[in-house]
Amino acid sequence: MPAPLRIAIGSDHAGLLLRAEIYRTLLARGVEVNDLGPFSSESVDYPDYAAKVCDEVVGGRASLGVLVCGTGLGMSIAANKRHGIRAVLCHTEFEARMGRAHNDANVLCLGERVVGLGVGISILNAFLDSAFEGGRHQRRVDKLAALDAAR
């Protein structure tokens, strides 16, 4: 029997509602969730939570990560600063499917103020229901890894 999917999630104060809905959705799917906060509505700095989630993914304690802020922009910038992370900011289900299928994305970034709760969950599900296709895309992911290693 395969190990259960483990996902680390985090947000800033502008992503609390969508993160809570993501948490509930992941539990309903039978996913092990590590919710890294924050746990109040006080203003926080998104790079701190991006780092926490990315540490879990890079460290192998999570298979994937999900990050939420107001626009998703700050989280995606912060996440992609981390070695070994391929974060995608998605506004559509199509982007989420392609991020996994063609880029082997390991972190999904969402903007609560941009996509809202319903679309955000649809994007999450598309991301989770997709898998890396390999093949010709592996060559490109290898080139991304080489760029990452050259930093």
Residue 75 sits in a domain of what CATH number?
Answer: 3.40.1400.10
Task: Evaluate the omega torsion of the peptide bond into residue 38 and state whether it is cis, within 30 degrees of 0.
Answer: yes
Q: What's residue 2's pLDDT?
A: 63
Query: Per the domain annotation, does 30 fall within a domain?
Result: yes
Answer yes or no: is pLDDT of 20 > 90: yes
Tell me the residue length of the chain: 151
Task: Assign 106 to helix, strand or coil.
Answer: coil
pTM (2 d.p.): 0.95
Active-site residue, from 54, 69, 90, 109: 69
Beta strands in the chain (DSSP E): 6-11, 32-35, 64-69, 87-89, 107-111
The answer to whether position 67 is within a domain reads yes
pLDDT score for 145: 84
In a domain, 1, yes or no: no
* 35: containing domain: 6-149
**pLDDT digit string (tens) for 81-113?**
999 999 999 999 999 999 999 999 999 999 999
Give yes or no for residue 1 having a pLDDT over 60. no
Mean pLDDT of 61-75: 98
Confidence of residue 138 (pLDDT cuts 50, 70, 90): confident
Is 102 considered catalytic here?
yes
Active site residue 54: no
Nearest to 59 by CA among 36, 38, 83, 75: 83
- Which among 13, 83, 90, 102 is annotated as catalytic? 102
